[in-house]
Amino acid sequence: MKVSLPPLPNSACTYGAPLLILALLAGCSTESGMAPSRPPSLPAMATPPEPPAPDHRLPLDVTYVDSARYDVQPGEVVCLEPGARPFLVLNGLQGRPDAPVTLTNCPGGTARLGGDRFGIVLRHSKHLRVVGSASPDDRLGLVVDGGGEAKVGVSVDQRSTDVELGFLEIKNTTFAGIVAKTEDANAGVPPEERFVLQNLHVHDTYVHHTGGEGMYLGSSTVGPGQHRLTGLRVHNNVVAQAGWDGIQVSNATDDAEVHHNVIYQSGTKGQSFHGNGLQIGGNAAGAYHHNLIVDSHIWGLAVFGTGHIDVEKTLISGSQGVFVDDRKATRPDVPIRVRANSFRNIQGTVVQVLNDIAPVLVSENRLDGDNDWLDTSSGAGANVSLDRNTRVPLDSLRFPGKKDGNFCLLPASPYAGMGLSHCQYVGFLSRLHAVPP
């Protein structure tokens, strides 16, 4: 017999002040010459719309919500009571494309999770939103704090799909901040039943101090048993001080876009093979643009995908530049384009290409330094073309608001179109978890 979650009292069914958005990167580089243009259209709203009145209140002693027991219908909103709980598992919740189920924090305070093996886990769920909302203490309303104990902050697994994650703070995990994959989901599965993780949308999150990847999206293994991701959208996030790669995307084969993110100080564990800012892994394609990638331990950006990959209008500073290699899913008939990016304080060659399968086009990029543009010592030079790349002076990258956890670009910055595409300077910045200098 299914039971209903306790209803939210009518007196608390409306939200107060709109959610204040997570803020980002301060004073960036300028150059003598043409500044990068803004993207043609940026979101006009700096805060999300207020959510509908919650239908259910989830008490602090509830850590497992199963569709076989709880009656949560498409379009309904479940809110978490303010306070701390060790974890939350959502199993089998089913919304609809026009009526997703929404999980948020209740009015009156911040909902905090973590300290156990994980923070929030989604299993066998579809059309589900996990989105923080307003909190009186001016923080993001949903906070997952692993406390050095939880392995993963938020996990989208066991064939969950059509998921939105937004306005969350995730920190202090021993492994990844966000994981979205079901390992071997299609092993032995006939073609007509193969699972695809569709329409994963990750936005406006602050992921920091993770032991592994900040975001681990798609299995890093390429093979017939692994599922694909389609319709991936990752934007307006801050990923700071990840122990391994900042954002890793693999098996995202169709309609993937990763843009307007700040990725700061990835690879803090100092490992030899896990320290890239943004890694486009095996069997991945898509558009990766307007990102700010700063002080990565190894490469600012590493590309191992199939082709049909566009890396554009991104700033890479304080690391090695771009590394391009092939994997077994790489195709010879589709290009990898590295275009209109800016490079400053680069260690070694700007672009190293070991990929001798897909054509690699490096064009219209700007470099402050006398580094060599290209290393094709592996013999991949026949596949690579250089066109209209220039050397120009770029001012030092500055973070005047970093001590307050503020990664906003100043409005006057010539790089104001990179990083977060919407930003507010508001009082709660000083109360965000500060990024150490």
> 10-188+197-431: which CATH architecture?
3 Solenoid (2.160)
Q: Tens digits of per-residue pLDDT, 183-226?
A: 999 999 998 999 999 999 999 999 999 999 999 999 999 988 99
Rounded to whole angstroms, the Cα distance separating 372 from 107 reads: 55
- Quote the tokens at residue 360: 């690699």
The structural domains of the chain, with segments of one domain joined by +, span 10-188+197-431
Rounded to whole angstroms, the Cα distance separating 90 from 279 reads: 29
| Length of the chain, in residues | 437
Q: How far apart, in Å, are the Cα atoms of 77 and each of 8, 60, 115, 376?
A: 10, 17, 25, 54
Say what the pLDDT of residue 20 is: 29
- Quote the tokens at residue 304: 């191992």
Residue labelled with tokens 């700040």: 262
Could you read off the pLDDT tens digit of each residue along the chain, which spans 437 residues? 555 554 433 333 332 322 323 333 333 332 322 222 222 222 222 354 455 589 999 999 999 999 989 999 999 999 999 999 999 999 999 999 999 999 999 988 889 999 888 999 999 999 999 999 877 665 678 999 999 888 999 999 999 999 999 999 999 999 999 999 999 999 999 989 999 999 999 999 999 999 999 999 999 999 889 999 999 999 999 999 999 999 999 999 999 999 999 999 999 999 988 999 999 999 999 999 999 999 999 999 999 999 999 999 999 999 999 999 998 789 998 999 999 999 999 999 999 999 989 999 999 999 999 999 999 887 888 889 999 999 999 876 665 555 666 677 776 777 778 887 766 533 333 333 333 33
Q: Where are the beta strands (DSSP E) in 37-96?
A: 56-58, 64-66, 77-80, 83-85, 88-91
Of 44, 28, 19, the closest CA to residue 291 belongs to 28
Rounded to whole angstroms, the Cα distance separating 244 from 405 reads: 20
Say what the pLDDT of residue 424 is: 52
Say what the pLDDT of residue 407 is: 76
Of 52, 90, 24, the closest CA to residue 435 belongs to 24
Q: How far apart, in Å, are the Cα atoms of 67 and each of 160, 163, 307?
A: 14, 17, 40
If 0-12 CB within 10 Å is exposed, 13-18 middle and 19+ buried, where does residue 162 land?
buried
Q: How far apart, in Å, are the Cα atoms of 401 and each of 22, 31, 233, 404, 408?
A: 13, 21, 27, 6, 8
Contact 252, 181 (CB under 8 A): no
Say what the pLDDT of residue 353 is: 94
Model pTM greater than 0.85?
yes
- Quote the tokens at residue 41: 């259209």
Rounded to whole angstroms, the Cα distance separating 84 from 182 reads: 28
Say what the pLDDT of residue 116 is: 87
Q: Where are the beta strands (DSSP E) in 10-160?
A: 56-58, 64-66, 77-80, 83-85, 88-91, 101-105, 111-113, 118-123, 126-131, 142-145, 152-157
Contact 416, 409 (CB under 8 A): yes
Say what the pLDDT of residue 38 is: 27
Q: How far is residue 126 CA from its own chain's centroid?
A: 20
Of 384, 276, 292, 298, the closest CA to residue 338 belongs to 384
